[in-house]
Amino acid sequence: MASLEEVGRPVTSAVLTTMAAFMPLMLLPGILGDFMRVIPMVVTIALAISLVEAFWMLPVHVSVARVNFANPGRMQRFRVRMTHRIQIAYVRTLIKAMRRPVLTFGLIGLLFASAMGALGAGLIKLDFFASDPLRLFYVNIEMAPQSSLSTTLEKVRQMEKLVRKHLKDEDVRVVVGYAGQQFTETAPMFGSQYGQVLVGLKPKTEQNRSVDELLAAVREDALALPGPINTTFLRLAGGPPVSKPISIKVRGDEYSEIRAAADALKSYLASVPEITDISDDAGGGRMTLSLTADYDAITQAGLNPMEVIRTAQLLVDGEVVADMQHDGEEVEIRVRAKPQTYSNVDQLLSFELPLPDGGRMLLSKLVKFERHQALGNIRHYNFRRAITVEADLLPDTIDTVTANDQVVNHWNTALQSQFPNLDLDFSGELDDIQESMDAIGVLFLFGIGLMYLILGTQFASYFQPLMILMTIPMAFTGVVMGLLITQNPLSLFTMYGVVALAGIAVNAAIVLISAGNQRLEKGMSVKHATLYAARRRVIPILITSLTTIAGLFSLATGLGGHSLIWGPVATAIVSGLAFSTILTLFLIPMLYRIFMPYSHKSQQSEKIPEPETSA
């Protein structure tokens, strides 16, 4: 019971502050929130159950077990000796640090500044949606719109042979080529001009190559294959579904102007070496033959213009002459010429019309015709016509935000004056990043506010919670150092882990300050209370931190398999907690020693009773 009375309040505060950091993450919007929402939910429930275990079930277990240290064994005596040595070594080091506060604070500040400098200098790679690629990729082929299915399939077979040339037995599982459709990240595309080669790979081992390495090996030869008007690559990844890093909607009213602006943007993107796989969703239609009546030729031939136009219509779609009801639905009756198989649309012009004098004349001499490519589709976005230009980034080059900033700068300086009636809408991965970044910042501040309220309620102080929250910048220092050492990218998942880390890192400071306050209440001086609290709490703090680090160490270091999603999260928590624990053991006692004398004197003066006055 004495143990529960001593640690009950700090343990409760530590659990509640951790829950305060995790619970707001359940409110995270967007695809990142949908993907990660289960984590704060599970952690919050587990922490609540652990509190019940610690205060009710664990004391019962200890009581039933009847643990007795009257006759300690060899292992227990070794543990006591090691604990004592650690406590003595730590207190001696702490006393030396307290005698040189300027040097100690300077070193801690230098570590924080170095971390911020490494982040600002770009030593840590930014990959906001870093994820592990699936072991497959696609080679997309788009032929000319008038291409037949057999022509596209033949080109797909050539591409399949070319791809197989770069694959080894330990890499490939299956290679399949097909024509007539094309799988994309959004909706499939259908048409005889579309083809695709699917490359399925074996699971990653030390002997085979990664997806990015295989794409780099195939890319040059695939792009050099003659015939296709566009060849792109599709690389799928795990994690939340996101659009391509560059996704720009060119919006306007005149389609020809939108098309020209989209082509100008694609030309600029092609000039940037870090940008690849450029495409748009315009989807060119088939070749079209437009017929216009030549009234002079028709009059000279002695024909009625309406008969010529009607004949051309009957040869193609026919003419609706009546309608009827069948099973409650309206059915049109269409009259058309006898269907014929045309290998070329120009054969339509060879049809002969009878003349009044008994002769015959080719349709091509009675009409004006023009061949051109029809529109495949006209898409709209926010009530305006739009073409979406998309592109991918080569691995280990520029990040999404930088790439989009370059496009915006080029549009404002070079293209906006040419297309004043158009505007750009940046969506895709950039939109997801901005939404997640804004929400994470707000939820982080909200969690800090909740932690301050919880700590202020426990310690009945405005200043002591601020001392405890000083551990959060130190934890972020550890995060940066950990990413720098492991070469993991700074992603949105990492920032998610930083927000969660804020609730974990403060636990050591809570138990230190709580122990110091208990000693002050029993009459110790501030200096002795500081050293006593540090000596008494160092072992529980180290054990708590080391168990958390041990649980996440294999995931952070990739011992159980490297993951670009969960690895940076674990790295953020492990390195941040390790750094913050070490620095907390020195910074918090020094802050407590420096600032508590003033607070303690004010509290003592409030407790001095007023002298009684005799009547």
Distance CA 547, CA 540 (A): 11
pLDDT at residue 602 in the model: 43
Check pLDDT > 60 for residue 219. yes
Q: At what angle do helices 526-557 and 471-486 cross, to 10 degrees?
A: 30
- pLDDT tier, 342 (very low <50, low <70, confident <90, very high otherwise): low
pLDDT over 90, % of the chain: 1
In 265-383, at which residue ranges do the beta strands (DSSP E only) sit?
275-280, 287-293, 319-326, 329-335, 352-354, 360-362, 367-373, 379-381
Check pLDDT > 50 for residue 613. no
Contacts of 5 (CB under 8 A, 6+ apart): none
Q: Which residue has the higher pLDDT, 123 or 561?
A: 123
pLDDT over 70, % of the chain: 88
User: What are the tens digits of pLDDT across the range 352-367?
Assistant: 888 887 788 887 888 8
265: nearest Cα among 50, 61, 422: 422
Beta carbons within 10 angstroms of residue 242's beta carbon: 23
Check pLDDT > 60 for residue 432. yes
Distance CA 105, CA 110 (A): 8
Q: Which residue has the higher pLDDT, 178 or 610?
A: 178
Q: Once rounded to an integer, what is the mean pLDDT over residues 41-52?
A: 85
Helix (H) or strand (E) holding 265: helix 255-271
What share of residues in the chain are helix, strand, coil (percent, to 5)?
60, 20, 25
Q: Once rounded to an integer, what is the mean pLDDT over residues 205-222?
A: 83
Distance CA 305, CA 367 (A): 10
pLDDT at residue 455 in the model: 85
Distance CA 418, CA 426 (A): 19
Check pLDDT > 80 for residue 340. no
- pLDDT tier, 601 (very low <50, low <70, confident <90, very high otherwise): very low
Q: Once rounded to an integer, what is the mean pLDDT over residues 290-300?
A: 83
Give the Å distances, CA to CA, from 111 to 114, 261, 502, 507, 509: 5, 49, 18, 21, 19
User: What are the tens digits of pLDDT across the range 67-85?
Assistant: 666 677 788 788 888 988 9
The amino acid sitting at 89 is A
Check pLDDT > 80 for residue 142. yes
pLDDT at residue 289 in the model: 73
Check pLDDT > 80 for residue 379. no
- pLDDT tier, 65 (very low <50, low <70, confident <90, very high otherwise): low
Contact assessment for residue 451 and residue 20, using Cβ atoms and an 8 Å cutoff = yes
Check pLDDT > 80 for residue 66. no
Contact assessment for residue 361 and residue 301, using Cβ atoms and an 8 Å cutoff = yes
